[in-house]
């Protein structure tokens, strides 16, 4: 896929809106000066660490820079989990964190949130009931990828209370926070046990550069500082870009958000015209929407395959959930309007053809 220059990336939640010139310049300056001969500081450039803390408003906390949120999640699992520990998450979840935890020997429990019966979200009462004596970590994606739901302030407070009673770590994966209508950081209510995961991939649109952050209180950061995999520093060029990105966020990001939300609306309106598919969560707090398939045979895999033939990459639900993956596709929308117009144009025909094709199974299309 990386070698298909004409591919329209509507499946990986990446942000394809043109970069702010200051961000591009900062990275080019970094390359021109060849500062990359050095290693970046072990926990990140100090200026960037401070900007991250300021941006999240977690002023009593510290940030360490990671190679994207994924490496922060890997490292957090390896720091705080041991064999036999329990990790609770939702289904759908972000499966890589599940894999990191199980590879350590932790036991993962998933709480179903897919469907109208759950309103596509986790009720804290259910979380409370699921806690067991070995529960060591609660991993919540907020806003949830792929569903686009996020927690209210009162839910976050309840979740923090539950985690505090259990003395469990709360990993709040805020990769999509910036696209949310109203987001609440658990670290404000449970500072002693919350590990906040943040990313530059989605809001800043630099997924290929690998830069993210873990924010937590000093004690947790000290434990995380012991043996991080990027102890020789994260990509210095990317960090220079991230610094400029944060400095220009308030002037640049609102345009990204407006484009993303207008794209969401365009897809929502188009789906409304097509029988057999629906948008169960609208508006989404992420930069994506899920489209639910009916029982008429238009499987996610068929839709993805037929879109792929039209140079459009969308993602089948099985990437996110074994149990519910046959019920939806996910469309990422922080992309140029023209891509979404093309998607909307193709959708009626693709759905029609998908009912004949009826591909099934977890065909991996990226």
Ligand X SMILES: Cc1ncc(COP(=O)(O)O)c(C=O)c1O
Residues of the shown chain interacting with ligand X in the complex, contacts defined by CB under 6 A: 13, 68-70, 94, 141, 145, 173, 175, 199, 201, 207, 212
Joined tokens for residue 359: 């591909």
Least distance in angstroms from the C-beta of 211 to ligand X: 7
CB of 94 to ligand X, least distance (A): 4
DSSP for residue 320: T
DSSP H or E stretch at residue 229: none
Nearest CA-CA partner of 317 in 258, 254, 360, 267: 360
The least distance separating ligand X from the CB of residue 133, rounded to whole angstroms, comes to: 28
Please, what is the minimum distance in Å from the beta carbon of residue 356 to ligand X?
32
Q: Phi, psi (5° rounding) for residue 55? A: -60, -40
Q: State the minimum distance, in angstroms, from the CB of residue 168 to ligand X.
A: 19
Residue closer to ligand X (CB basis): 94 or 120 = 94
Closer residue to ligand X, CB minimum distance, 270 or 288: 288
C-beta of 144 vs 270, nearer to ligand X: 144
Instruction: Output the smallest distance, CB 9 to ligand X, in A.
Output: 12
CA 303 to chain centre: 23
* Closer by beta carbon to ligand X, 166 or else 172: 172
CA distance linking residue 92 with residue 119, whole number of Å:
13
Tell me which residue has its CB nearest to ligand X.
68
Nearer to ligand X, 97 or 302 (CB): 97
Quote the least distance from Cβ 355 to ligand X, whole Å: 30
Nearer of residues 14 and 326 to ligand X, judged by Cβ? 14
Q: Which is nearer to ligand X, 19 or 302 (CB)?
A: 19
Nearest CA to 80 out of 198, 189, 170, 172 is that of 170
Burial 38-59 (b: 16+ CB within 10 A, else e): eebbebbbeebbebbbebbebe
Omega of the bond prior to 283 within 30 degrees of 0, cis? yes
How far is the CA of 2 from the CAs of 6, 7, 208, 366, in angstroms?
10, 8, 11, 10
Over its C-alpha atoms, the chain yields an Rg (Å, rounded) of 20
Dihedral sign computed on CA atoms, order 123, 125, 131, 137? positive
């Amino acid at each position: 896929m990386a070698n298909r220059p004409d591919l329209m990336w509507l499946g990986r939640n990446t942000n394809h809106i043109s970069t702010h010139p200051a961000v591009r310049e900062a990275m080019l300056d970094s390359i021109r000066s060849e500062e990359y001969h050095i290693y970046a500081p072990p926990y990140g450039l100090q200026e960037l660490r401070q900007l991250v803390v300021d941006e999240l408003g977690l002023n009593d906390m510290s940030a360490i820079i990671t190679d994207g949120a994924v490496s922060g999640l890997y490292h957090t699992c390896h720091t705080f989990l041991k064999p036999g520990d329990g990790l609770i998450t939702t289904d759908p979840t972000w499966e890589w964190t599940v894999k990191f935890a199980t590879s350590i020997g932790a036991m993962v429990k998933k709480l179903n949130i897919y469907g109208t019966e759950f309103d596509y979200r986790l009720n804290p009462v259910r979380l409370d009931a699921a806690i067991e004596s070995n529960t060591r970590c609660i991993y919540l994606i907020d806003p949830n990828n792929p569903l686009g739901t996020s927690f209210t302030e009162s839910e976050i407070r309840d979740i923090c209370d539950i985690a505090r009673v259990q003395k469990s770590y709360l990993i709040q994966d805020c990769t999509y926070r910036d696209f949310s209508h109203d987001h609440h950081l658990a670290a404000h209510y449970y500072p002693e046990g919350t590990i906040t995961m943040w990313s530059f991939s989605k809001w800043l649109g630099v997924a290929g550069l690998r830069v993210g952050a873990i924010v937590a209180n000093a004690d947790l950061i000290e434990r995380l500082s012991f043996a991080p995999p990027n102890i020789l520093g994260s990509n210095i060029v990317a960090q220079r870009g991230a610094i400029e990105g944060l400095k220009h966020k308030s002037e640049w990001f609102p345009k990204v958000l407006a484009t993303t939300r207008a794209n969401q609306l365009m897809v929502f309106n188009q789906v409304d015209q097509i029988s057999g598919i629906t948008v169960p969560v609208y508006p989404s707090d992420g930069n994506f929407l899920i489209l639910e398939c009916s029982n008429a045979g238009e499987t996610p895999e068929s839709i993805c395959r037929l879109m792929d033939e039209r140079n459009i990459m969308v993602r089948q639900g099985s990437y996110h959930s074994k149990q519910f993956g046959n019920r939806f596709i996910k469309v990422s929308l922080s992309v140029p309007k023209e891509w979404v117009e093309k998607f909307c144009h193709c959708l009626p025909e693709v759905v029609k053809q998908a009912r004949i094709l009826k591909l099934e199974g977890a065909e991996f299309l990226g």
